[in-house]
Structure 1
Amino acid sequence: MLSALAFFFVMTSYYIVRPVGNQLSGAVGSQSLPLFYGAVFVVMLLLTPVFGLLVARFPRRQLLGWSYSFFILCLLAFVPAFVVQDRIGARELGVVFFVWVSVFNLFVVSLFWSFMADIFSSLQARKVFSLIALGGMAGAIFGPLVTKFLVQWIGVAPLLMVSAVALGLALILLLRISAQHDRQPGSHGEEAVGGSLWAGVRELWSRQFLRYMALLMLFGDGIGTLAYALVADYAKAHIIGNVARTAFYNDLDLYTNILGALLQLTLTPWLLIRRGAGWGLVLPSIVNLALLAGVAWLGGGSITVFGYGVSVLVVLIVTTRGFAYGMTKPAVDSLYTRVPLETRYKGKNFVETAVWRFGDLLVTSSVNGLHAFGLGVAGLALLGTGVAALATAVARRAGWSPDLAPDGQRVTEAPKPPQK
């Protein structure tokens, strides 16, 4: 219950920040996204040894406290910059804020799930991670609702102060959870993980499961970033003004998270408990394959949903993200309970940050190049269909990787390789 409530405040904070940053990309369109993601990728590579140092040297309670406190201060520091956004420029402020939000994701959202994978066993994770994720999904719905109400009243910049308050509440709860868990027999919460600063990179090459997860991240990110780039062009062409664009991206997040919450209440817990976490990776890949095939057939037009005309691009991004948050994420994090501590913290975070942002850079650069050659929405979606087919095959291998520890075994060191 405490974990679900803490994740509620984490995601409330994050989903207040997201539309604030997304309206900057909507102001400049997809042609500037390679610049945004290129800067993020470089910063992620530079931060890999820094994060490795923090994890290796400091116990998790200190790591949580210092990381979250740093980002609370950063949120407050960005307020004056957004007050004068028009004077600074959406492109210039967008590069800085995009980088910061990505680092926010590393040290806040990803660190939260590394912590959860550390205090729950794999059997517990399959039962409770969808419920903890549901708490986060409630925050991911509440955050956009707060933003939708407040952005018209107080504007964009003061939203960052609201986000800082939510993140502070999450920190208080996480420190309490850590203190409770550290009192249990066998807890290693007062000890640092140790190991190499570059263990996240080394783990990627040495552990088969992590290689599958990196490929799955690249393929899934390719589909998501393709949809994001196409929607950025749509927003630039059809939506005028900072407030209107913030409201548009906020609505995308709201509908995405409603879908994710419905999945976490119904299909996801049944699938993880009855069929195993591997199917939580495979099914969303099949859904992506079907969606992209549909977009390739329909192009960039509109369809009728409950009597309203909706762009197929909006349907694509809402559905792919809804399944990613509502099913893939709980499945992935439950699998990380079956790997050693260094993989759980350093390897996981390297995949979810540096590898993720490399995929962003690769896909947005490719989209711009393909646009230059005259490839439209349908052609890009057809390429995405091929990527989704590859993702389905990799998801099948990742969910049943031979170097995962047996289900139910708590792992603090590397599991032995399977006997041939």
Structure 2
Amino acid sequence: MSAESDGSYWQRMRADLAGSPPLLWAFLYFYCLLCGYYVLRPVREAMGAASDVYTVFPPWLVDLAAARSIDLGQLTLQILFSATFVIMLLLQPAYGWLVSRFPRRVFLPTVYTVFVVTLLGFYLAFDSGLPGRGMLFFLWITVFNLFAVAVFWSFMADVFTDSEARRLYGWIGAAGTLGAISGPLLTTTLVSRLGIANLMLVSAVLLVLCIVCILRLRLWAVQREQQRGLRSGEVPMGGQLLAGLKLIAQQPLLRWMALAVFFGVSVGTLLYNEQRLIVQQYYPEPEASTAYYAMIDLGVNTLTLLVQLLLTRWVLSRWGIGPALLGPALIILVAFMALTASPLPLIVAIAQILTRASEFALAKPARETIYTRVDREWRYKSGAAIDTVIYRGGDLSFVWVHKFVSGFGSSAVFATGVLCALFMCVAGFGLWREQKKLPRDVGGPIA
């Protein structure tokens, strides 16, 4: 069943749970976090695809565009992605101030409490049918997904060592994938009975559970820091508000990390936007397109879960992060080459499943293990900057690249994706080489 031979799958899981008490709380934390997000993700997709511009955009913006003969319906994704990037830039100093001035016990619960309060505001907005709620919600949930997940992985690097991360991040990722599967099932079951507005309350309850997990896991983070003589996360880390971006510019490791994320996002954005056009061509009926998207989500989550449970732990523990970084990049390269030759819906679906599953199950855990061996300022500030500003910068860049290249046809879009995948391979190799210079963690080789 697995590439490992040292005991059964369940025996290994029980051994890891017994050997690492915080693992169960990490399971619950990531499950609730992604379940809460995926409860709301279909609402985001529906808002981004809404045909009524007054549902998506505020009336003043619709009127302003109409006065200039601009059809907002043709630029919905470009406008939403551009606005998201601007918001990320504005929020980065605020996040830097928060993590610099307040200890972990304050800023971690604060981040999630803010998200809970804003969800209550969206409950009122959707319940009243507020015009422009689509744009507000699309921007909010995109920011929420990036910041909340970035904070999660930064915190995990406080709790677990590098050798523990290589063994356990696959399990933790699998718990998140189960949450990603549970969320859409909850939405499908509840939306017709409760309505969209009440889904906000369901997600808010799940985020409150995340705060409970944070308070519990903090005990083990403190214990690890004391045992290893690390700088305590229970005191403010200080530093400059924009230290995250400055460190990325100064440190080769973080530059390679940023490039790996940027080009990883580029292929995803090109594929996401071109998929939308291909679906409109081949599946014009809403029922058919919904079934197509559902098939892709099911395939992504199923493959991700299988890889996380059966391969991620073995690859990271036995071979290190090299194969986990380069393997997905090579898979994506081959997938885009196939799409360049034959951009059919089935090939698009397969490429989408392979791209997203390899990122979630291999590349993301591999990158996150690196943060267990660096200073807290690197993981909380630079890590968050990479997962927000750099990530959305890639989105912004390639949503407009797609707008230009798509005029030459699908094959031109996917040929551009081949180039991006090549750069992704180079960035992954550079990151693997650079992280080998970091101090070794007790309990496992650096590879």
Scaled by the length of structure 2, the TM-score of the pair is: 0.82
- Counterpart of 2:321 in 1: which secondary structure? coil
1:392 Cα deviation after fit: 0.8
Q: Distance in 2 between matches of 1:223 and 1:46?
A: 26
In structure 2, the residue matched to 1:349 is 384
The one-letter amino acid of 1:157's match is: A
Is 1:116 matched up with 2:149? no
1:258 aligns with 2:297: no
In structure 2, do the counterparts of structure 1 residues 97 and 404 end up closer, same or farther at CA, with 3 Å as the change threshold?
A: farther
Contact 2:191-2:199 within 8 A present in 1 as well: yes
User: Per the alignment, do residues 404 and 137 of structure 1 end up closer, same or farther by CA in structure 2, a change over 3 Å counting?
Assistant: farther
Q: 1:280 aligns with which of 309, 324, 342?
A: 324
Contact 1:26-1:245 at 8 Å conserved across structures? no
Q: Tell me the CA shift for residue 247 of structure 1.
A: 7.4
Q: Is the 8 A contact 2:167 2:316 kept in 1?
A: yes
Give the gaps of 5 or more residues in structure 1. Answer: 303-310, 411-420
Q: CA deviation at 1:54?
A: 0.6
The one-letter code sitting in structure 2 at the alignment partner of 1:397 is: G
* Bigger mean CA deviation after superposition, 116-125 or 251-260: 251-260
Instruction: Choose the corresponding residue for 1:46, options 68, 76, 90.
Output: 90
**Per-residue CA shift, 1:283-305, capped at 9, x if unaligned?**
00011011111111112x24xxx
Separation in 1, partners of 2:321, 2:340:
30
Distance 2:46 2:347 in 1: 20
Does the alignment pair 1:24 with 2:41? Answer: no
Comparing 117-126 with 102-111, greater Cα deviation is found at: 102-111
Check conservation: 2:405, 2:412, Cα contact below 8 A: no
Q: 2:264 is matched with which residue: 217, 220, 226? A: 220
- Note closer, same or farther for the CA distance 1:233–1:94 as it changes in structure 2 (3 Å cut): farther
Q: Which residue identity is paired with 1:318? A: I
2:126 to 79, 82, 89: 82
- Identical positions, percent: 35
Alignment of 1:322-341 (within 5 A): 322-341=357-376
Match of 2:393 in 1: 358
SS in 1 for 2:106: helix
State the partner residue of 2:7.
none
Q: Which runs of 5+ in 2 are unaligned?
A: 1-23, 52-72
Matched, 1:200 2:239: no
Q: Distance in 2 between the 1:272 and 1:322 partners? A: 16
1:173 Cα shift? 1.2
- Partners of 2:317 and 2:116 lie apart in 1 by 36
- Structure 1 contact 21–94 (Cα < 8 Å) conserved: yes
**CA deviation after TM superposition for structure 1 residue 106, in Å:** 3.7
Work out which of the residue numbers 380, 393, 402 in structure 2 matches 1:367: 402
Match of 2:178 in 1: 138
Between Structure 1 and Structure 2, how many residues are aligned?
A: 394
Corresponding residue of 1:5: 28
For 1:418, the equivalent position in structure 2 comes to none
Aligned-pair CA distance for 1:403: 7.2
> Using the alignment, how far apart are the partners of 1:178 and 1:27 within structure 2?
42
Aligned to 1:305: none
Report the equivalent of 2:203.
163
Post-superposition Cα deviations, 1:264-296, rounded to whole Å, max 9, x if no partner, equal 011221111111012211100011011111111
Q: For residue 137 of structure 1, what is the amino acid of its counterpart?
A: T
Are the equivalent residues in 2 in contact too, given 1:7–1:139 (CA < 8 A)? yes
**2:99 paired with 1:59:** no
CA separation of 1:227 and 1:330: change in aligned 2, threshold 3 A: same
- 1:344-400 C-alpha deviation (Å, 9 max, x unpaired): 1100110110111111111111111223xx322222111101111111121011022
1:175 shift after superposition = 1.1
- Structure 2 residue matching 1:266: 3-state secondary structure: helix
Q: Report the 3-state secondary structure (helix = DSSP H, G, I; strand = E; otherwise coil) of the residue aligned with 1:27.
A: coil
In structure 1, what is the Cα distance between the partners aligned to 2:36 and 2:298?
14
Rounded Cα–Cα distance in structure 1 between residues aligned with 2:206 and 2:258: 31
The answer on whether the counterparts of 1:27 and 1:236 sit within 8 Å (CA) in structure 2 is no
Larger Cα-atom Rg: 2
CA contact under 8 A between 1:26 and 1:236: conserved in structure 2?
Answer: no
Other-structure match for 1:181: 221
Partner of 1:390: 423
Task: Map residues 296-315 of structure 1 onto 2, 5 A cutoff.
Answer: 296-299=340-343, 301-302=344-345, 311-315=346-350
Question: Alpha carbons of 1:164 and 1:246: their partners in 2 closer, same or farther (altered >3 Å)?
Answer: farther
1:245 offset after TM fit, Å?
A: 7.2
For residue 258 of structure 1, what is the amino acid of its counterpart?
Answer: T
How many Å separate the matches in 1 of 2:243 and 2:436? 17
Q: Moved runs in structure 1, 4+ residues, more than 6 A?
A: 243-248
RMSD: 2.3
